[in-house]
Structure formats: C-alpha cells, structure tokens
C-alpha cells in the first residue's frame, strides 16, 4: 500500500466508553457499526450484563444536510445531461458546451449558497470555497483561457469573491486618464495580443514618466496610486489590508505589471504572490494549497487536495467527471483497476445509497461507471428497505431496465413472501408472475388447494377465476385454474363437460398425485347422477386411476389406512361398477347410442 497522504482523523463516538467496555465493530456499506461487548477492559466478565448499545458511525454527514439536497438533485440533472450530450461536437462548439455545463454547476452551487445563507447554515463558507475553486478550474482548465482573456477572467473571478477590489479599481479609474484605460480594457477581436501589449507598454511608460516628473509629489495618496499602477510590489503590499487574500494580491499585481500573462507563467507569480503576502507569518491553509495547485496546472493535485480537505465526494466527483469530458485527465489506472473519474463517482454514489431518499440519484451515477458501476449497483440495490409496494416497484423497474435478473427474482420473492404471510394470495401471485417464478406460483397454488381441502370451498374466487395466461406459469397453477373450472361447470350443471375435464386432469397428469383421491371423490356425485355421465371408456379410465392410486400404496400403508379411506375406496369401486353396468347397457342398446 502507498503511504498515507494525511493522518487519519480520529473520530470520537459520543457515548461509547472504551474504558468501561471493549468495543467491537463491523463494516456496513457506508457506515461502521460499533457495539459494546460484554467484556471489560481488563478481561472477561468485568463489563457485567448491562444493556449493550450499538452505534452507527457515518463519515459522510453532509448528505443529511437538508439544504444540500437541492444541490444533489440539480447537479444530478446536469451530470446526466453532460453524459448524454453529443460527443460529435468538436473544437470550439464542444468547448463552449463544456464551459456552459461548468457554469451550470456553479450556478447550482450559488443557488444553494443563497438558500443556506437564508437558513443561516454554517456550510455556506464551504460552498463558497467550492465555488471559488471550481470557478478557477473552469477558467484555467475547461475554458483554458489564453493570455489576454486570462487576466480578465481572473479579475472577474476575484471580483466575484472579494468585494473590496472594487474600491481600488474605482479609485484608479476616476483619477487617471480614462481614455487610456478604455483602450486598455478593450480586448475585442480587433486587437491582437501584441497590439494590446504595445498599447499597455505605452501607457505604462506614460505612468512612469508622471511618477518621475514628480507630478504627484504633492499628494502622497496619488503618488502611491501611481506606483500601484506601475506594478510596484511594495506599494501594492502596503495596501494589504484592502486585499483579503494572496490571490487577490496576485491578480492585482498581474493587472498592473503583467496583464498579458500566459497561463503557463501563472505558477511563478502565484508562488511569489503567496510568499510575499503571507510573508512567513502564517502557513498556507488547505484552500491556498488547492488554489496553488490549480495555478500550477496540477489537476491531479487539485483533485487530491480537495478530496482530503472536503468531507463529501460531491465536489471532486463532478469536477473530475467534467475534466474527464474535457479530455484533460490522463487515464492512468489506480492500482485496483478503475480510473480516477470512476473511483470518485463510485464513492459519491455509494454515499448517496446510504441516504434513505437520495439512493435514486445514485443509480444514474453507477450507470455511467463502465467498469464497476454495475456490480456496485447490484450490491447496493438489494439493501434498500422496501416498506411499500410502490417503492418495491420502483426498485424493480430499475433492476429490470438493466437486466439484473437475480435482483428482480430476489425482490419479487421477498415481496411475495411478505404477501403470503399476510394472507394476500393475489398479491403474492402477482409478484411471482412479475418474476416468472414458477416455484413460487406452485407454492401459492398449494396454499389455495390446502385451503380448499380444509374448508371445502375456494377463497379468492376473483383471482382464481381470472388467471388468464398466467395460469401457465406453473403446473400447479394450471391445475388450480382448471379445477376451479370443473367446479364452475358442475355448478352450471354442465355435467358431461365437467366429467371430461375431471378425467383429463388425472389422465394428463396435471393434477398432483396427492389430489387424486379428492378428484375421484368429486367424481362420485357425477357417477351417481340419474343420467349417465361417464362413457364406458371414461369409466374404465377412472377405474384405472383408482387402481393406480391404491396399488401405489405399500402393504404396510394399507394397514395404516383409516376406515374412512377404505370406505371411500369401497364406495368408489361400487359406484364405478354400477356406472359401468349402466353405461354398457346404454351403449349397447340401439336407441341409447
């Protein structure tokens, strides 16, 4: 394993006292369960048999901040839009598209900041830092501003985040020759970089002359302004308290000394600006390190520092994805196989899945992780609690759309079992049909048949009478449907059809062997009808079935068979014989056939 970048933070679990009791732990998908054991610190049994508590320790608390939910949802929409956006666009139009996406992300962050501001949430400062970093990355990486526009963008950037700079600029603009300034600011297409540089040089020299001539000697204030305009570092540093940060200082410096700075030169100015500004008094904060890395165009360093500094994966996941779309990240694989973009997205989405509601967003993120996304999704989706049928349906739909058949079967089975326990046989059947689970359908049918045997009538006729094509899902279900049909035919006094059906159920082996006795007993009233129902052929068939049934029992079983059984068999034999006699006579006579 590689060495650690930072010391792992120590987390104290409030309420757990390791001095009193030994603790044990287990990893969950996004949290750790810490439990108090029975054992005391110094051996066994000292803890005593008092109640044990279980603590759920989560690293990522941010997803539970209510005001951040807007951020997660809106950025999810932007993320999906980016993945779906046309890849055929190249060059300038593609870049413009990506810059727009970046701006959309930033406006979402700012909207969230507004809400947080109103709700007086402390997270505002973190969001503000995020927007600052993102904005800089947009300028340097996504837009890749060239020398010239680069400084303008940086000025906007600083202006957006620090309000004080306006004071200085206003002072400057009001005092000096306005027309020269206008020329300076006009970076339209008509001017090339060299033209602008020349103009600036000219203006710079003019300022220098004013200073040397002592034009402002009488007014020290004006003199210092002139020095600032000339880019005199010391003069600018004197006004340190007006500038809150070193990057503000950097941009001001560049404005007055190197307005046509090239992107690659930024790093030197940035480093010296930070050194000059901080002056060795304070060490750089995490934000400073991140910004410095950005100025040095060390993208990976930026992402790494952000990952360490921020408590939530949202920022690095989305930023890295955007940079990846800009084709800026080298696809060097991490040692366990996926690339950085995928790793961060997986982490972020896993965090979403630990939230009771935001898991739905996580699905789309996993979809866009080509290597491990599917596996992660399969593991996570099975752990979503399904407290209503509607939620189960939504989860099922997600699985079906991605051909995750195992998960479909598993979820349907869980829901079907729940329904069965609650005696909702129709619901249970509906779930087994969805999963095409023949085994479960058989189970449900057996339940129905058992109910019938115990009570003598069918429950839930509305279900059994309307099985439709789902009857074919399992043999037992087919039998159930057909058996019910037999009863219906009998009820409608369509005896010959009922008889035919009954016989077919046995001869075609649709009926389970355990049920044959019941079926044969059902045949009794038909045999006893005034009108002969069964033909000779059919009677022979019935007799054969009866013999098969009784012959199947071993001698030992014959002794254990109770009187009712034997009587039933006797009655059947008698009835069959009588029917056979009648039908032979009937079929034998000329009028009867």
Partner 1 sequence: MEEVCAKFVSQKISKTRWRPLPAAALQPPELFATGSWDNEDNRISIWSVGDLGNVGLNGEYQGEPQLLCDIRHDGDVMDMQFLDQERIVVASSTGTVTVFRHHQNNQTLSANHQWEKAHYHVDQNTSCGGAACTGVICNNPEIVTVGEDGRINLFRADQKNAVRTIDNADSSTLHAVTFLRTTEILTVNSIGQLKIWDLRQQKNEPSHIFSLTGDRVPLHCVDRHPSQQHIVATGGQDGMLSVWDIRHGTMPVSLLNAHEAEMWEVHFHPSNPDHLFTCSEDGSLWHWDTSTDVSEKPSFLHQGGRSATCFSHNIINQSVVSAWLSNDPTKDRMEITNLIPNQTLSVNSLDILGPCLVYGTDAEAIYVNRQLFA
Residues that bind partner 1 (CB under 8 A): 66-67, 69-70, 73-74, 76-77, 80-81, 114, 356-357, 360-361, 364, 387-391, 393-394, 397, 401, 421-427, 429-430, 433, 459-460, 462-463, 466-470
Measured from the CB atom, is 80 or 235 closer to partner 1?
80
CA distances to 366, 495, 497, 578 from 534, rounded to whole Å, are 65, 9, 10, 11
User: Closer to partner 1 at the Cβ: 282 or 388?
Assistant: 388
SS3 212: helix
- Answer whether 63's CB lies under 8 Å from 350's CB: no
Q: Closest distance between partner 1 and the C-beta of residue 443, in Å?
A: 15
Specify the residue, 311 or 423, whose C-beta has the smaller distance to partner 1. 423
Taking the C-alpha atoms of residue 348 and residue 311, their distance in angstroms, rounded to an integer, is 11
How far apart are the C-alpha atoms of 565 and 556, rounded to whole Å? 15
Which of residues 171 and 389 has its CB atom nearest to partner 1 in the complex? 389
Min separation Cβ 333 and partner 1, Å: 30
In the complex with partner 1, the residue whose CB is nearer, 249 or 431, is 431
- Closest to partner 1 by CB, 97 vs 430, is 430
Q: What is the C-alpha R_g of the chain?
A: 41
> Which residues pair with residue 36 across a beta bridge?
23
As measured in angstroms, the least distance from the Cβ of 430 to partner 1 is 4
Minimum distance, C-beta of residue 82 to partner 1, in the bound complex (Å): 12
Burial of 592 (0-12, 13-18, 19+ CB in 10 A): exposed
Q: Are the beta carbons of 457 and 490 closer than 8 angstroms?
A: no
CB of 365 to partner 1, least distance (A): 12
* Shortest Å distance, C-beta 243 to partner 1: 30
CB of 25 to partner 1, least distance (A): 24
Give dist(CA 145, CA 157) in Å, integer. Answer: 13
Residue 265 or 460: the one with the smaller Cβ distance to partner 1 is 460
Q: Where are the alpha helices (DSSP H) in 296-388?
A: 299-309, 314-325, 340-353, 359-367, 373-381
* Least distance CB 102 / partner 1 (angstroms): 18
Specify the length of the chain in residues. Answer: 593
Q: How far is the CB of 515 from partner 1 (least distance, A)?
A: 21
Nearer to partner 1, 186 or 423 (CB): 423
342's CB contacts (< 8 A; 6+ apart) are 369, 370, 371, 372, 373
Check: CB of residue 477 under 8 Å from CB of residue 442: yes
Nearer to partner 1 among residue 390 and residue 554 (C-beta)? 390
194: phi then psi, degrees, rounded to nearest 5: -65, -40
**Spatial separation of the C-alpha atoms in residues 533 and 529, rounded to whole Å:** 7
How many Å apart are CA 60 and CA 591, to the nearest integer?
91
- What does the alpha-carbon distance between residue 178 and residue 191 come to, in Å, rounded to a whole number? 19
3-class secondary structure, 121: coil
């Amino acid at each position: 394993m590689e060495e650690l970048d930072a010391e792992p933070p120590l987390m104290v679990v409030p309420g757990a006292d390791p001095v009193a009791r030994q603790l044990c732990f287990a990893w969950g998908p996004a949290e750790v369960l810490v439990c108090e054991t029975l054992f005391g610190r110094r051996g066994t049994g000292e803890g005593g048999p008092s109640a044990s508590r279980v603590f759920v320790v989560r690293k990522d608390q941010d997803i539970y901040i209510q005001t951040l939910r807007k951020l997660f949802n809106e950025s999810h929409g932007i993320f999906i839009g980016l993945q779906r956006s046309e890849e055929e666009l190249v060059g300038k139009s593609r870049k413009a598209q990506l810059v727009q996406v970046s701006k959309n992300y930033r406006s979402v962050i700012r909207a969230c900041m507004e809400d947080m501001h109103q709700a007086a949430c402390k997270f505002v400062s973190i969001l503000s830092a995020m927007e600052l970093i993102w904005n800089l990355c947009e300028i340097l990486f996504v837009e890749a501003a060239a020398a010239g526009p680069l400084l303008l963008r940086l000025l906007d950037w600083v202006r957006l985040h620090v309000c004080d700079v306006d004071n200085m600029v206003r002072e400057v603009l009001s005092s000096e020759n306005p027309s020269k300034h206008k020329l300076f600011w006009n970076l339209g297409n008509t001017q090339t970089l060299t033209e602008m540089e020349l103009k600036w040089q000219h203006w710079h020299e003019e300022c220098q002359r004013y200073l040397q001539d002592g034009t402002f000697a009488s007014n020290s204030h004006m003199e210092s302004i002139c020095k600032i305009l000339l880019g005199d570092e010391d003069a600018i540093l004197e006004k340190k308290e007006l500038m809150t940060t070193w990057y503000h200082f950097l941009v001001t410096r560049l404005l007055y000394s190197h307005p046509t700075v090239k992107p690659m030169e930024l790093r030197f100015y940035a480093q010296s600006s930070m050194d000059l500004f901080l002056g060795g008094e304070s060490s750089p904060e995490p934000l400073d390190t991140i910004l410095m890395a950005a100025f040095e165009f060390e993208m990976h360093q930026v992402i790494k520092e952000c990952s360490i500094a921020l408590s939530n994966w949202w920022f690095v996941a989305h930023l890295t994805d955007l940079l990846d779309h800009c084709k800026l990240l080298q696809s060097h694989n991490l040692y366990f196989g996926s690339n950085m973009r995928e790793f961060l997205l997986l982490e972020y989405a896993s965090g979403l899945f630990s939230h009771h509601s935001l898991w739905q967003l996580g699905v789309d993120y996993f979809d866009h992780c080509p290597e491990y996304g599917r596996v992660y999704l399969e593991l996570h989706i099975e752990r979503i609690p399904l407290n209503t049928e509607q939620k189960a349906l939504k989860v099922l739909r997600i699985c079906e759309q991605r051909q995750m058949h195992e998960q479909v079967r598993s979820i349907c089975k869980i829901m079907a079992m729940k329904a069965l326990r609650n005696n909702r046989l129709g619901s249970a059947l509906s779930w087994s049909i969805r999963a095409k689970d023949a085994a479960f359908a058989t189970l449900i049918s057996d339940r129905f048949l058992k109910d019938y045997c115990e009570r003598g009538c069918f429950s839930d006729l509305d279900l059994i009478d309307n099985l439709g094509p789902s009857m074919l899902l399992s043999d037992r279900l087919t039998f159930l449907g057909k058996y019910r049909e037999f009863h219906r035919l009998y009820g409608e006094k369509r005896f010959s059809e009922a008889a035919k059906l009954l016989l077919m159920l046995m001869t075609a082996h649709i009926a389970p062997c355990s049920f044959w006795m019941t079926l044969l007993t059902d045949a009794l009233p038909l045999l006893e009808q005034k009108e002969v129902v069964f033909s000779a052929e059919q009677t022979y068939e019935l007799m054969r079935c009866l013999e098969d049934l009784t012959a199947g029992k071993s001698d030992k079983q014959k002794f254990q068979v109770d009187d009712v059984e034997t009587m039933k068999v006797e009655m059947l034999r008698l009835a069959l014989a009588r029917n056979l006699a009648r039908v032979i006579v009937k079929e034998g006579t000329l009028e009867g056939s």
